[in-house]
Amino acid sequence: MIGLPHRSELVRGKDLVEVRRTKPRIRRIEHRGHTFVIKDVAHCTLLFRLFGRWWLRRELAVYDRIGALDGIPLCFGLLDRNALLLSHLDGEVVRRESTRLQAADYFVELRRLVARLHGRGVVHLDLGHRRNVLVLRDGRPAIVDFASALSVARVPILGWLGRRIDAYSIARLERRYGKRRGQDRQ
């Protein structure tokens, strides 16, 4: 069992995105040889902190629904009422310069990952934001940030609509960052 970090260790972490008082702080920390990501709302203004606590519990429920799925961070639960603890996926955000995106199968693999996610009754709804789709060091796709995601197992019409939104977002990413027409296949 991995020993989980304590809130006092958050000061040693590195912020992964710009910190704002109206958004969660996303911080990467090292603890006992493991790398974690902590989504923390403790620094937010009172209103956003209260709303953020509810949002973190909602996101935790989505991660619980997903379970362990390759290409999705593992969720270790709430560190305290203000912070969600996740595994760190070693990769980079989608960029045109990423040579792996030029491989013919990256977006095929991304669609398969999203189909597995949908098979667990979850739609992401924010795949169009390139920071939510990663290229791992080994070239596989990964998906992060399930704050906008919905568990749709009990509401088929939301599932239908969410699957279309996710598919549209992937197609948009592929047009923007994928292989350019006229390029030779590698």
Mean pLDDT of 33-47: 90
Looking at per-residue pLDDT, the higher value among 98 and 63 belongs to 63
Say yes or no: 74 and 122 in one domain: no
Mean pLDDT of 29-58: 91
Say yes or no: 81 and 98 in one domain: no
The mean pLDDT value of the chain amounts to: 86
Domain that holds residue 19: 7-87
List CB contacts of 16: < 8 A, sequence separation 6 or more.
26, 27, 28, 37
Asked which of 12-16, 80-84, 90-94 is least confident by mean pLDDT, the reply is 12-16
The reply to whether 69 falls in a domain is yes
What is the full DSSP assignment across 38-98? EEE-TTS-HHHHHHHHHHHHHHHHHHHHH-S-TTS--EEEEEETTEEEEEPP-EEE--TT-
> Residue 177: its pLDDT value, please?
84
Of 63, 87, 111, at which residue does a domain stop? Answer: 87
Q: How confident is the model at residue 54 (pLDDT cuts 50, 70, 90)?
A: very high
Q: How confident is the model at residue 154 (pLDDT cuts 50, 70, 90)?
A: confident
CATH number at residue 80: 3.30.200.20
Total tally of structural domains belonging to the chain: 2
> Residue 102: its pLDDT value, please?
62
Say yes or no: 95 and 79 in one domain: no
CATH number at residue 140: 1.10.510.10
Say yes or no: 41 and 26 in one domain: yes
List CB contacts of 10: < 8 A, sequence separation 6 or more.
27, 29, 38, 40, 83
The reply to whether 42 falls in a domain is yes
Looking at per-residue pLDDT, the higher value among 75 and 24 belongs to 75
> Residue 109: its pLDDT value, please?
94
Mean pLDDT of 14-25: 72
Residue 185 reports pLDDT greater than 80: no
> Residue 124: its pLDDT value, please?
97
In the DSSP assignment, the letter for residue 186 is: -
Say yes or no: 111 and 157 in one domain: yes
The reply to whether 34 falls in a domain is yes
